[in-house]
Chain A
Amino acid sequence: MTAIATRPETGQRGTSAPPARPRDSERLFNRVALGTLIALALLWLVPLAWALATSIRPAQEVVTNPTGWFTAHPTLDAYGEIFDAGKLPYWYANSFITSILTTVLTVVMASLAAFALSQTRFRMRRAAFVMLLAGIMIPGQVLMIPQFLALQSAGLLNTYWGVVLPQVPNVVAVFVFKQFFDGIPRELIDAARADGAGWLRTYWQIVMPISRPAVSAVTIFVFVGVWNNFLWPLLVVTDPEMMTLPVGLTSVQDVFGVPYAQLMASAVLGAIPLLAVFALFQRRIVEGIAGTGLK
């Protein structure tokens, strides 16, 4: 989590007095850099802007001029048709339910495990940690067949639990929590223990409340990960009313043939919740990535 600590300094870094004599080469370089950067950033926004522009054009116009940008008659028809014909409201609800369930389970179980590994002492503690760490190297997708067979025999296909359960053992989440808990002063834990608080109470009432940064980092990356997961829900969900948004969206093409305004409206609707999450938690997401990635 070093990024969190250094960020405020960076803000000052920019406002600190410029070097005594800004040389011409420096100024020229900055200008070229800014120009390049803005050009690339605009290029990067083209697909998003185009999706938005196309989704509000009348279907007739898209057919006659597919690559046009502007319309004199903006309309939300495509959105309405998507809502009526597809099962979009179900997919939204399913994505929310599975993402929230997975996130809550992951945060609770991973933080409990990390607390045990960080603060309690027991035999095999180090061995348990090393074994858990090894799990970072197991690529989950490669295990899709046995995971599928296990859920099939448990009768969990086409259920929320089928989508949720295999995504709960997130080793990176344990790692992030342990990293954070290791930094909590030993005296704080000892004081709580000396006052007679059990380990569970110490975890819940002392440690978790001061671990907000770790909790929010894990919450965001688990939520986004589950929301965007495609392969796993594709395997375990076949019932259209149980599909999550990413899986449902791919079936839109079959429902409509290829009417582009609707396709782009679906893309926009699929993007909005996450862009909203991103806009709200931009700094937390960035800090989370920086903090988890670099350790």
Chain B
Amino acid sequence: MATTTAPTPTSSRGDRWAGPGMLLPFALFYLVFLVGPLIYTVVAGFFETSLLKSGLGDFAGLSNYTAVLGDAEFWRTLRNTLWFTVLTTVPLVLLSLALALLADRFVRGRWFFRFAFFAPFVLPSAVVSLLFMFIYADQLGLAQEAVKWFGVDTPPSWLGDPDWAMISIAAATVWWTIGFNFVLYLAGLQDVPREVHEAAAIDGAGPWQRIRHVVVPMLGRTTTLVTVLQVIASLKVFDQIYMMTAGGPDGSTRSSLQLIYDTGFVEGRVGYASTVSLLLFVVILLVSLVWFALVRRAEKES
């Protein structure tokens, strides 16, 4: 078409607002639903805000913080949450790595493994919870039946025993979400060049040695990513616990997010709940920052 004399289109007048204009709709949502609420959470933590009265309520100074930090229930829910995080992160990283390493060897039938391990991941938490409440049911559930085959005469009450409830929920969570990490690892494995395998094989390395000394080290970046995403997700656990045990028995599975939910929405103590929210947010933020630092360092080294 006609050759333009102006070399850079970006310098014309209407353009100056094109970028900000197109950014605006998303930015508005971002400010209203993320930044604004975050500021509110910080502020409300300093007030005796209640769900029942409008406005922030009386200024409370640091009393919410001293109350939360001195509250045994806060520490217990945090401990429960961390316990759940350990119980899920370890198998979700190691098992998904193992499954991906095994599945990567077989091109035929890969769709079957991908279906078996990944399909549960798309299920709503409500479906997963219904399913496992049935599986874990006392006397008539599949899980008790299964351990009886292995000679256990009196199987535990999976969701009713405080020692077992969190473990049972974690096991259901592993079943449900392993597909996501599995797929991340499969993608990571595609970046391991075929030649590396062959060179190691020519050098006389067996399949097990190649996996241990060649492939796994090359997956370092994926492993960091999977671990951090998993830790962040597990720290925010709510759905399946709320549905399967509602935090019981005896509060042994009550999570931090449920404490926020209960104090904020059931008891209406918004100021207190905001303080708990902020503390949980700080924990999650620290995990993310550690991850960024690790990735930075890894990128500098390579």
- The chain A residues found within 8 Å of chain B, CB to CB, are 2-3, 6-7, 9-11, 13-16, 19, 23, 25-26, 29-30, 33-34, 36-37, 40-42, 44-48, 50-51, 54, 66-67, 108-110, 112-113, 115-117, 120-122, 124-125, 128, 132, 135-150, 165-166, 168-169, 171, 174, 190, 193-196, 198-200, 203, 224, 227-228, 230-231, 235, 245-247, 249-250, 252-253, 260, 263-264, 266-267, 270-271, 274-275, 277-278, 282, 285-286, 289-291, 293-294
Contacts and interface: CB of A to CB of B under 8 A. Distances in A.
A286 B19 CA distance: 32
Contacts of A115: 22
Contact of A40 (B34, B36, B99, B187): B99
Interface residues of B, number: 106
A81 to B, nearest CB: 16
Chain A interface, >50% SS class: helix
B59 interface: no
B288 interface: yes
A120 B16 CA distance: 9
B243 interface: yes
Contact of B124 (A193, A245, A294): A245
A195 B186 contact: no
A290 B184 contact: yes
B27 interface: yes
Interface of B: 1, 4, 9-10, 14-23, 25-27, 29-30, 32-38, 40-41, 44, 51, 99, 102-103, 105-108, 111-120, 122-127, 129-135, 137, 140-142, 145, 175, 180, 183-184, 186-188, 190-191, 194, 198, 201, 206-208, 221-222, 225, 229, 232, 235-236, 238-239, 243, 257, 260-261, 264-265, 270, 273-274, 277-278, 280-281, 284-285, 288-289
A121 B131 CA distance: 52
A46 B180 CA distance: 19
A286 B16 CA distance: 39
Contacts of A149: 40, 51, 270
16 contacts: A9-B190, A15-B107, A47-B131, A109-B26, A112-B25, A113-B22, A120-B19, A144-B261, A146-B37, A147-B37, A231-B257, A249-B130, A267-B127, A270-B127, A293-B184, A294-B221
B26 A19 contact: no
Contact of A250 (B40, B243, B284): B243
A153 to B, nearest CB: 8
A7 B243 CA distance: 39
Contacts of A282: 111, 114-115, 118
B41 A194 contact: no
A44 B26 contact: no
Contacts of A228: 122-125
B184 A139 contact: no
A125 B20 CA distance: 8
B281 A138 contact: yes
Given A138-B281, A146-B37, A286-B118, A194 B30 contact: no
B260 A138 contact: no
Contact of A246 (B41, B51, B126, B260): B126
Given A11-B107, A135-B34, A200-B22, A146 B187 contact: no
A125 B278 CA distance: 29
B213 to A, nearest CB: 15
A294 B222 contact: yes
Q: Which 6 pairs of residues, A with B, have the shortest CB-CB distance?
A: A14-B107, A290-B187, A120-B19, A66-B140, A146-B37, A113-B26
Contacts of B111: 282
B4 A194 contact: yes
A61 B25 CA distance: 56
Nearest to A249: B126
Contacts of B236: 139, 141-142
B86 to A, nearest CB: 19
A129 B27 CA distance: 11
B124 A230 contact: yes
A203 B113 CA distance: 39
Contact of B16 (A122, A135, A275): A122
Contacts of A168: 29, 33
B201 A146 contact: no
A110 B25 CA distance: 9
B37 A143 contact: yes
Contacts of A2: 187, 191
A132 B114 CA distance: 33
Contacts of A249: 124, 126-127, 130
